[in-house]
Amino acid sequence: MDEPVLLTGAGGRVGQAILRGIGDDYEWRLLDREPLPATKVPDRVTDADRYVADITDDRAVRGAMDGVNAVIHLAGDPRKTAPWDSVLRNNIDGTQTVMRAAADAGVEKFVFASSNHAVGGYETEERTPDLYRPGDEYRLDGTELPRPGNLYGVSKAAGESLGRFFHDEHGMSVVCVRIGNLTKDHPPREYERGQAMWLSHRDCAHLFDRCLQANYGYEIVYGISNNDRRYYSIERAREALGYDPADNSGDYTFEGEPKEEQNGGDGDGGPPADPNFPTDPDTPTDGA
């Protein structure tokens, strides 16, 4: 892919996982509402390709979109407790602004960061906590209707519907990734739900790379690693995108320590070193 990829919300945890994993593989346009420090920007990205803008600013978004072939849209209010006025402005209106600009610019591929919270309502008292444990056969595969667990999830379900509309009306390829619990060096510690939906940084980067490379129409996939304990299916991500995750929360203890190290292994199974950045400016959180 020779044309630039626009990455909105580039300074956030998902954006940084993507850039640290595949930052050298694409020409990037980075958009964030705050100026990005040098520690968050790959070496090859020039000042001209760094945009400071709100995603509800139509003119600014269209300026960043000019000449772009693909978009990864992460920007929005990420709080699961976000109030309605914020999710409406930032997550629904903002997503519509970005998708409309992409369609008008002739963008071929649009990758939308949805969330596990779009289907959080399926985690009923009858299903949990067995739902989070190995051996339980219940799976969500992306064909089920949204069932949000909070207003943030409502906004992500709305973004998936917007993606369906822009695919049907404009022929833009759209994939919605229902992202699980992203942490860098280990699964969430002592947290069954988080371990069931763990997404490692290298699997995150690989998944979004496949979103940029694969051919598809409209897809909803789950963004988790190849975990022994899981209630999201990754089969559609494998089939439609060629996703091949490397990590598994089952390779770690409940406390988040690598089992191979406890068993006398050499510990070489961890993620590769970051190629682009001098330091890691973010501390991963264990909340989903």
Q: Which of 26, 51, 132, 152 is catalytic?
A: 152
Alpha carbon 274 to chain centroid distance? 18
Does 152 participate in catalysis according to the annotation? yes
Q: Is 156 annotated as a binding residue?
A: yes
Show the CA angle centred on residue 241, arms to residues 30 and 94, nearest 5°.
Answer: 35
Number of C-beta neighbours around residue 63 at 10 A: 14
Asked if residue 263 belongs to a known ligand binding site, the reply is: no
Q: What is the CA radius of gyration of the chain?
A: 18
Residues 272, 256: Cα–Cα separation, whole Å: 18
Residues with catalytic function: 152
Annotated binding residues for NAD(+): 90, 115, 152, 156
